Structure 1
Amino acid sequence: MPRLQAYRNPAKGWGLWGVFLNHDDRFIGWVLVRPMHFFSDQPHWNELELGWRFLRSHWGMGYATEAARHLMQHMQAAGYRHFSAIALPDNQGSIAIMQKLGMTFVARELHKAPVGEAVVDYYSVRVSD
Protein backbone atom coordinates (compact mmCIF):
# COMPACT_ATOMS: atom_id res chain seq x y z
CA MET A 1 0.00 0.00 0.00
CA PRO A 2 2.74 2.58 0.70
CA ARG A 3 4.04 2.15 -2.86
CA LEU A 4 0.56 2.73 -4.29
CA GLN A 5 -0.02 5.72 -2.00
CA ALA A 6 3.29 7.30 -3.03
CA TYR A 7 1.95 8.52 -6.38
CA ARG A 8 -1.69 9.02 -5.43
CA ASN A 9 -2.69 12.63 -6.00
CA PRO A 10 -6.47 13.01 -6.54
CA ALA A 11 -6.15 16.72 -7.36
CA LYS A 12 -3.96 15.81 -10.35
CA GLY A 13 -5.86 12.65 -11.27
CA TRP A 14 -2.96 10.35 -10.32
CA GLY A 15 -3.65 7.01 -8.71
CA LEU A 16 -5.67 3.89 -9.34
CA TRP A 17 -9.06 4.32 -10.96
CA GLY A 18 -11.52 1.49 -10.39
CA VAL A 19 -13.47 0.16 -13.35
CA PHE A 20 -17.00 -1.11 -12.72
CA LEU A 21 -19.66 -2.50 -15.00
CA ASN A 22 -22.51 -0.06 -15.64
CA HIS A 23 -25.36 -2.53 -15.28
CA ASP A 24 -24.46 -3.96 -11.86
CA ASP A 25 -21.55 -1.87 -10.47
CA ARG A 26 -19.36 -4.98 -10.33
CA PHE A 27 -15.62 -4.26 -10.05
CA ILE A 28 -13.70 -5.66 -13.04
CA GLY A 29 -10.31 -3.95 -12.81
CA TRP A 30 -8.41 -0.71 -12.55
CA VAL A 31 -6.37 1.78 -14.55
CA LEU A 32 -3.24 3.38 -13.13
CA VAL A 33 -2.29 7.02 -13.83
CA ARG A 34 1.04 8.41 -12.61
CA PRO A 35 4.07 10.26 -13.94
CA MET A 36 6.23 8.02 -16.10
CA HIS A 37 9.33 6.71 -14.30
CA PHE A 38 7.79 7.87 -11.01
CA PHE A 39 10.06 5.70 -8.85
CA SER A 40 13.27 6.69 -10.64
CA ASP A 41 15.67 9.53 -9.90
CA GLN A 42 14.19 11.45 -12.85
CA PRO A 43 10.39 11.17 -13.00
CA HIS A 44 8.76 12.59 -16.14
CA TRP A 45 6.20 14.88 -14.51
CA ASN A 46 4.52 15.87 -17.79
CA GLU A 47 4.40 12.34 -19.25
CA LEU A 48 1.72 10.17 -17.72
CA GLU A 49 2.04 6.42 -17.48
CA LEU A 50 -1.15 4.46 -17.97
CA GLY A 51 -1.39 0.88 -16.76
CA TRP A 52 -4.23 -1.58 -16.29
CA ARG A 53 -5.15 -4.78 -14.55
CA PHE A 54 -8.45 -6.52 -15.20
CA LEU A 55 -10.03 -9.72 -14.05
CA ARG A 56 -9.15 -12.41 -16.58
CA SER A 57 -12.87 -13.02 -17.17
CA HIS A 58 -13.05 -9.53 -18.70
CA TRP A 59 -9.97 -9.66 -20.95
CA GLY A 60 -10.51 -9.10 -24.65
CA MET A 61 -13.80 -7.23 -24.24
CA GLY A 62 -12.49 -3.71 -24.79
CA TYR A 63 -12.90 -2.56 -21.20
CA ALA A 64 -9.23 -1.71 -20.65
CA THR A 65 -9.06 0.26 -23.89
CA GLU A 66 -12.27 2.13 -23.12
CA ALA A 67 -11.22 2.96 -19.55
CA ALA A 68 -7.70 4.04 -20.52
CA ARG A 69 -9.04 6.16 -23.42
CA HIS A 70 -11.52 7.83 -21.06
CA LEU A 71 -8.73 8.66 -18.60
CA MET A 72 -6.52 9.98 -21.41
CA GLN A 73 -9.33 12.35 -22.41
CA HIS A 74 -9.86 13.38 -18.79
CA MET A 75 -6.15 14.05 -18.33
CA GLN A 76 -5.98 15.94 -21.65
CA ALA A 77 -8.66 18.27 -20.30
CA ALA A 78 -6.33 18.84 -17.32
CA GLY A 79 -3.51 19.84 -19.70
CA TYR A 80 -1.53 16.62 -20.16
CA ARG A 81 -0.44 15.79 -23.71
CA HIS A 82 2.08 12.95 -23.33
CA PHE A 83 0.95 9.42 -22.41
CA SER A 84 2.96 6.22 -22.17
CA ALA A 85 2.66 2.62 -21.10
CA ILE A 86 4.90 -0.39 -20.64
CA ALA A 87 4.37 -4.12 -20.96
CA LEU A 88 6.41 -7.27 -21.03
CA PRO A 89 7.31 -7.97 -24.67
CA ASP A 90 5.16 -11.12 -24.80
CA ASN A 91 2.06 -9.37 -23.37
CA GLN A 92 0.35 -8.96 -26.74
CA GLY A 93 -2.97 -8.03 -25.10
CA SER A 94 -1.54 -4.94 -23.40
CA ILE A 95 0.52 -4.01 -26.45
CA ALA A 96 -2.65 -4.15 -28.56
CA ILE A 97 -4.35 -1.78 -26.09
CA MET A 98 -1.41 0.64 -26.31
CA GLN A 99 -1.66 0.61 -30.10
CA LYS A 100 -5.45 1.18 -29.98
CA LEU A 101 -4.72 4.22 -27.80
CA GLY A 102 -2.50 5.59 -30.58
CA MET A 103 0.76 4.75 -28.84
CA THR A 104 3.78 3.65 -30.84
CA PHE A 105 6.82 1.64 -29.84
CA VAL A 106 9.64 3.74 -28.36
CA ALA A 107 12.12 1.22 -26.96
CA ARG A 108 12.70 -2.09 -25.26
CA GLU A 109 14.37 -1.19 -21.98
CA LEU A 110 15.10 -2.29 -18.45
CA HIS A 111 12.38 -0.96 -16.16
CA LYS A 112 13.27 -0.65 -12.48
CA ALA A 113 10.51 -0.42 -9.89
CA PRO A 114 10.23 -1.03 -6.14
CA VAL A 115 8.80 -4.49 -6.85
CA GLY A 116 11.73 -5.49 -9.09
CA GLU A 117 13.02 -4.97 -12.58
CA ALA A 118 12.12 -6.37 -15.98
CA VAL A 119 12.77 -5.77 -19.65
CA VAL A 120 9.67 -4.06 -21.05
CA ASP A 121 8.39 -2.56 -24.27
CA TYR A 122 7.79 1.16 -23.87
CA TYR A 123 5.05 2.81 -25.98
CA SER A 124 4.11 6.48 -26.10
CA VAL A 125 1.88 9.07 -27.78
CA ARG A 126 1.71 12.85 -27.79
CA VAL A 127 -1.71 14.28 -28.43
CA SER A 128 -2.51 17.70 -29.78
CA ASP A 129 -4.93 20.24 -28.37
Structure 2
Amino acid sequence: MTVLTTERLILRDWTDDPTDLARIYDIYSRPEISRYLGAAPGLPMTNPAQAAERLRSWQERHAADGGRYGTWAIEVRETGQVVGTALLKPLPGRDEAVRTDDIEVGWHLHPDAWGNGYATEAARAAVAREFAAGAREIYAVVSSGNEPSMAVARRLGMTHVGQRSDWYGGELLETFVLRAPDA
Protein backbone atom coordinates (compact mmCIF):
# COMPACT_ATOMS: atom_id res chain seq x y z
CA MET A 1 0.00 0.00 0.00
CA THR A 2 1.34 3.44 -0.92
CA VAL A 3 1.64 5.65 2.13
CA LEU A 4 3.27 8.79 0.73
CA THR A 5 4.56 10.08 -2.57
CA THR A 6 7.07 12.79 -3.36
CA GLU A 7 8.43 14.14 -6.59
CA ARG A 8 10.83 11.22 -6.95
CA LEU A 9 9.77 8.65 -4.37
CA ILE A 10 6.99 6.36 -3.21
CA LEU A 11 6.91 5.36 0.44
CA ARG A 12 4.98 2.14 0.73
CA ASP A 13 4.53 -0.81 3.02
CA TRP A 14 7.22 -3.44 2.79
CA THR A 15 5.67 -6.71 1.59
CA ASP A 16 6.53 -10.39 1.76
CA ASP A 17 7.18 -10.39 -1.99
CA PRO A 18 10.51 -12.17 -2.60
CA THR A 19 11.97 -9.01 -4.17
CA ASP A 20 11.17 -6.95 -1.06
CA LEU A 21 12.50 -9.64 1.27
CA ALA A 22 15.72 -9.86 -0.73
CA ARG A 23 16.16 -6.10 -0.51
CA ILE A 24 15.50 -6.07 3.25
CA TYR A 25 18.20 -8.70 3.62
CA ASP A 26 20.57 -6.82 1.30
CA ILE A 27 20.19 -3.61 3.33
CA TYR A 28 20.24 -5.03 6.85
CA SER A 29 23.00 -7.59 6.28
CA ARG A 30 25.46 -4.80 5.57
CA PRO A 31 27.79 -3.81 8.42
CA GLU A 32 27.90 -0.22 7.13
CA ILE A 33 24.15 -0.03 7.86
CA SER A 34 23.78 -2.19 10.97
CA ARG A 35 26.70 -0.65 12.86
CA TYR A 36 24.59 2.49 13.32
CA LEU A 37 21.47 0.66 14.50
CA GLY A 38 22.70 0.13 18.03
CA ALA A 39 22.09 -3.13 19.76
CA ALA A 40 19.18 -4.10 17.52
CA PRO A 41 18.81 -7.87 17.78
CA GLY A 42 19.53 -9.87 14.66
CA LEU A 43 21.71 -7.25 12.99
CA PRO A 44 23.58 -7.51 10.81
CA MET A 45 21.43 -10.20 9.26
CA THR A 46 23.33 -13.37 8.41
CA ASN A 47 20.55 -15.45 6.86
CA PRO A 48 18.01 -14.32 4.23
CA ALA A 49 15.19 -15.88 6.30
CA GLN A 50 15.76 -13.10 8.83
CA ALA A 51 14.22 -10.63 6.39
CA ALA A 52 10.78 -12.21 6.82
CA GLU A 53 11.21 -12.13 10.60
CA ARG A 54 12.16 -8.44 10.46
CA LEU A 55 9.15 -7.67 8.24
CA ARG A 56 6.83 -9.44 10.70
CA SER A 57 8.28 -7.46 13.60
CA TRP A 58 7.67 -4.19 11.73
CA GLN A 59 4.10 -5.23 10.90
CA GLU A 60 3.41 -6.22 14.51
CA ARG A 61 4.95 -2.98 15.83
CA HIS A 62 2.57 -0.89 13.71
CA ALA A 63 -0.53 -3.13 13.71
CA ALA A 64 -2.48 -0.94 16.14
CA ASP A 65 -1.32 2.40 14.70
CA GLY A 66 -4.14 2.77 12.16
CA GLY A 67 -1.67 3.57 9.38
CA ARG A 68 -0.30 6.68 11.12
CA TYR A 69 3.11 5.15 11.81
CA GLY A 70 5.17 2.68 9.89
CA THR A 71 8.43 1.25 8.63
CA TRP A 72 8.17 1.78 4.90
CA ALA A 73 10.06 0.90 1.75
CA ILE A 74 11.44 3.89 -0.15
CA GLU A 75 10.94 3.24 -3.85
CA VAL A 76 12.26 5.42 -6.67
CA ARG A 77 9.27 6.28 -8.86
CA GLU A 78 11.23 6.34 -12.11
CA THR A 79 12.89 2.93 -11.73
CA GLY A 80 10.83 1.00 -9.16
CA GLN A 81 14.06 0.28 -7.25
CA VAL A 82 13.69 0.12 -3.47
CA VAL A 83 16.56 2.17 -2.06
CA GLY A 84 15.90 1.89 1.66
CA THR A 85 13.59 2.28 4.60
CA ALA A 86 11.84 5.30 6.11
CA LEU A 87 10.28 5.07 9.52
CA LEU A 88 7.95 7.15 11.59
CA LYS A 89 7.05 5.80 14.99
CA PRO A 90 6.79 6.41 18.71
CA LEU A 91 10.23 6.04 20.25
CA PRO A 92 10.70 3.09 22.60
CA GLY A 93 11.68 4.08 26.11
CA ARG A 94 14.47 2.86 28.33
CA ASP A 95 12.29 -0.23 28.65
CA GLU A 96 12.08 -0.94 24.94
CA ALA A 97 8.73 -2.68 25.33
CA VAL A 98 7.18 0.65 26.34
CA ARG A 99 6.41 3.24 23.68
CA THR A 100 6.87 6.88 24.60
CA ASP A 101 4.90 9.86 23.33
CA ASP A 102 8.01 11.06 21.48
CA ILE A 103 7.84 10.53 17.71
CA GLU A 104 10.87 9.47 15.68
CA VAL A 105 11.60 9.89 12.00
CA GLY A 106 14.37 7.73 10.60
CA TRP A 107 15.95 6.37 7.45
CA HIS A 108 18.18 3.48 6.44
CA LEU A 109 19.39 3.60 2.84
CA HIS A 110 21.27 1.02 0.82
CA PRO A 111 24.81 2.26 0.08
CA ASP A 112 24.10 2.26 -3.66
CA ALA A 113 21.50 4.99 -3.00
CA TRP A 114 23.64 7.24 -0.80
CA GLY A 115 24.21 10.80 -1.96
CA ASN A 116 21.00 11.22 -3.97
CA GLY A 117 18.94 13.09 -1.37
CA TYR A 118 16.47 10.22 -1.00
CA ALA A 119 16.71 10.09 2.80
CA THR A 120 16.02 13.80 3.12
CA GLU A 121 13.15 13.69 0.63
CA ALA A 122 11.49 10.67 2.25
CA ALA A 123 11.94 12.01 5.79
CA ARG A 124 10.64 15.45 4.82
CA ALA A 125 7.43 13.86 3.51
CA ALA A 126 7.01 11.74 6.65
CA VAL A 127 7.59 14.76 8.90
CA ALA A 128 5.08 16.89 6.99
CA ARG A 129 2.50 14.13 7.24
CA GLU A 130 3.04 13.76 11.00
CA PHE A 131 2.82 17.49 11.62
CA ALA A 132 -0.43 17.55 9.61
CA ALA A 133 -1.70 14.78 11.93
CA GLY A 134 -1.10 17.03 14.93
CA ALA A 135 2.38 16.21 16.25
CA ARG A 136 4.09 19.14 17.95
CA GLU A 137 7.66 17.86 17.60
CA ILE A 138 9.55 15.04 15.94
CA TYR A 139 12.91 13.55 16.86
CA ALA A 140 15.72 11.92 14.95
CA VAL A 141 18.13 9.87 17.04
CA VAL A 142 21.49 9.06 15.51
CA SER A 143 24.42 6.95 16.65
CA SER A 144 27.54 8.99 17.37
CA GLY A 145 29.80 9.01 14.35
CA ASN A 146 27.00 8.64 11.81
CA GLU A 147 27.78 11.96 10.14
CA PRO A 148 25.67 11.31 7.00
CA SER A 149 22.51 10.79 9.08
CA MET A 150 23.28 13.84 11.19
CA ALA A 151 23.60 15.80 7.94
CA VAL A 152 20.15 14.55 6.85
CA ALA A 153 18.67 15.71 10.17
CA ARG A 154 20.23 19.15 9.67
CA ARG A 155 18.94 19.35 6.08
CA LEU A 156 15.47 18.69 7.49
CA GLY A 157 15.92 21.78 9.65
CA MET A 158 16.24 19.76 12.84
CA THR A 159 18.14 21.21 15.79
CA HIS A 160 20.82 19.16 17.53
CA VAL A 161 19.99 19.12 21.24
CA GLY A 162 22.92 16.99 22.37
CA GLN A 163 23.14 13.39 23.44
CA ARG A 164 20.22 11.75 25.23
CA SER A 165 19.63 8.31 26.67
CA ASP A 166 15.85 8.46 27.09
CA TRP A 167 15.11 5.85 24.45
CA TYR A 168 16.24 2.51 23.02
CA GLY A 169 17.08 0.97 26.36
CA GLY A 170 19.16 3.92 27.50
CA GLU A 171 21.58 3.97 24.55
CA LEU A 172 23.32 7.36 24.33
CA LEU A 173 22.25 8.89 21.01
CA GLU A 174 22.77 12.18 19.19
CA THR A 175 19.35 13.79 19.35
CA PHE A 176 17.77 16.18 16.88
CA VAL A 177 14.34 17.79 17.16
CA LEU A 178 12.04 19.62 14.78
CA ARG A 179 9.08 21.50 16.14
CA ALA A 180 5.87 22.00 14.21
CA PRO A 181 5.88 25.27 12.26
CA ASP A 182 3.07 26.69 14.40
CA ALA A 183 4.47 25.43 17.74
Tell me whether the two structures share a fold, i.e. TM-score over 0.5.
Answer: yes
Structure number with the higher helix fraction is 2
The reply on whether 1:32 has 2:79 as its aligned counterpart is no
Larger radius of gyration: 2
Which of 78, 97, 100 is the equivalent residue of 2:155? Answer: 100
Amino acid at match of 1:77: A
Structure 1 position 78, deviation (Å): 1.4
- Give, in whole Å, the separation in 2 of the partners of 1:42 and 1:22: 33
CA–CA distance in structure 1, aligned partners of residues 135 and 167 of structure 2: 24
**Map 1:1-129 → 2, pairs under 5 A:** 1=54, 3-8=57-62, 9=64, 11-37=66-92, 39=96, 41=98, 43-44=100-101, 47-110=102-165, 113=168, 118-129=171-182
> Following TM superposition, by how much is the alpha carbon of 1:107 offset from its aligned partner in structure 2, in angstroms?
2.5
- Which amino acid is 2:146 matched to? N
Q: Deviation of residue 110 (structure 1)?
A: 3.2
Partner letter of residue 122 of structure 1?
A: T
Q: Which runs of 4+ in 1 moved over 4 A?
A: none
| Counterpart AA for 1:43 | T
Shift of 1:83: 0.7
Aligned counterparts of 1:42 and 1:4: Cα–Cα separation in 2: 14
> CA 1:124–1:108 in structure 2 vs 1: closer, same or farther (change >3 Å)?
same
Normalized against structure 1, the TM-score is what?
A: 0.82
Residue deviations 1:36-59 (CA, integer Å, cap 9, x gap)? 335365612xx3101111110111
TM-score (norm 2): 0.60
Over the matched positions of the two proteins, sequence identity in percent amounts to: 28
Q: Which 5+ residue runs of structure 2 have no aligned equivalent?
A: 1-53
Between the aligned partners of 1:42 and 1:15, the Cα distance in structure 2 is 14
Query: Would you tell me which structure has more strand in proportion to its own residues?
Result: 1
- 1:6 Cα deviation after fit: 4.5
Q: CA RMSD in A?
A: 2.2
- What is the aligned length? 125
SS state at 1:43 partner: strand
Deviations along 1:85-114, whole A, 9 cap, x unmatched? 11112101000111111111122133653x
SS where residue 154 of structure 2 aligns? helix
One-letter amino acid of the counterpart of residue 159, structure 2: T
Q: Which moved more, 1:76-85 or 1:52-61?
A: 76-85
